[in-house]
A and B are shown apart, each in its own frame.
Chain A
Amino acid sequence: MTRLHVDWTRCDGHGACAELVPELLASDEWGFPLSRTGERDPEVPPALEEHAEHAVRSCPLMALRLV
């Protein structure tokens, strides 16, 4: 089971992640990611793995990780 982990000590609310994998993450009113699945680190279904990896690469602050 792969999960998308947000390192909150790095996240600055740029929002690239919410754009690239909107099924899992929304943006709150301040720009910070909001998990859509109710879990803290949303589970990444196989179909979304590529998009999740793209999001991890695209975060300018390297605040995302797949665990």
Chain B
Amino acid sequence: MNEALWALGRGTGIVALVMFTITLVLGIATHSGRSLGLGRFGIADVHRTAALTGVGLIAVHVGSLLFDPFAQLRLVDLVFPFLGAYRPFWLGLGTLAVDLLAVVTVVSLLRHRVGPRVFRAVHWLTYVLWPVALIHALGNGTDAGTVWMTGVAVTCFAAVTAAVFWRLLPSYGERGRTRNPRKIVR
């Protein structure tokens, strides 16, 4: 049973990482303003679905590890980082990632209430969330050294790097002048 929980915990963690990688890559791609030629496909929907799937997976990830005595996870470790018993530093990164994920998710779901500025500001935290989650996975996961795990990590990293690179290409700027609202205040 414990092994099953441990496997579930690891599995959901890794798949969640992949989900968040997809989310991040799509988020960067849509922000480019360039048409990806997919018509009514709705990339925004895939971005959202991948993100929420990731959140669901993390809930199971944390839940299964809570019940696995081998993980020695306490409730306090879900919120306050670096207090854990098992590999406290790497676990702490995981806690940090969960904290960030909670904030980003809640604000995103309530974006129409909080307004575009707050929503956008909080959303930038995803650029912290993702690397922290990746490093947590590499440091805390017992599969870290394996070939396939390394392969997954490298692929995720490459995908995000490529997306950021594409986003920073000059043709983005040629799209037009950047909106830069005047700041004249009394």
By a beta-carbon cutoff of 8 Å, the part of chain A in contact with chain B is 9-10, 12-16, 18-20, 22, 27, 29-32, 51, 54, 57-63
Contacts and interface: CB of A to CB of B under 8 A. Distances in A.
30 contacts: A12-B33, A13-B176, A14-B31, A14-B33, A15-B34, A15-B35, A16-B30, A16-B44, A19-B35, A19-B38, A19-B40, A20-B40, A22-B39, A27-B35, A30-B175, A30-B176, A30-B177, A31-B175, A31-B176, A32-B176, A54-B42, A58-B42, A58-B44, A59-B44, A60-B44, A61-B116, A61-B120, A62-B111, A62-B112, A62-B116
B119 interface: yes
Grouping DSSP codes into helix (H, G, I), strand (E, B) and loop, the B interface class, with mixed when no group exceeds half, is helix
Interface of B: 30-31, 33-35, 38-45, 111-112, 115-116, 119-120, 175-177, 179, 181
Contacts of B35: 15, 18-19, 27
Contacts of B111: 62
Contacts of A10: 116
Given A61-B116, A62-B111, A16 B176 contact: no
Given A31-B175, A62-B112, A62-B116, A15 B45 contact: no
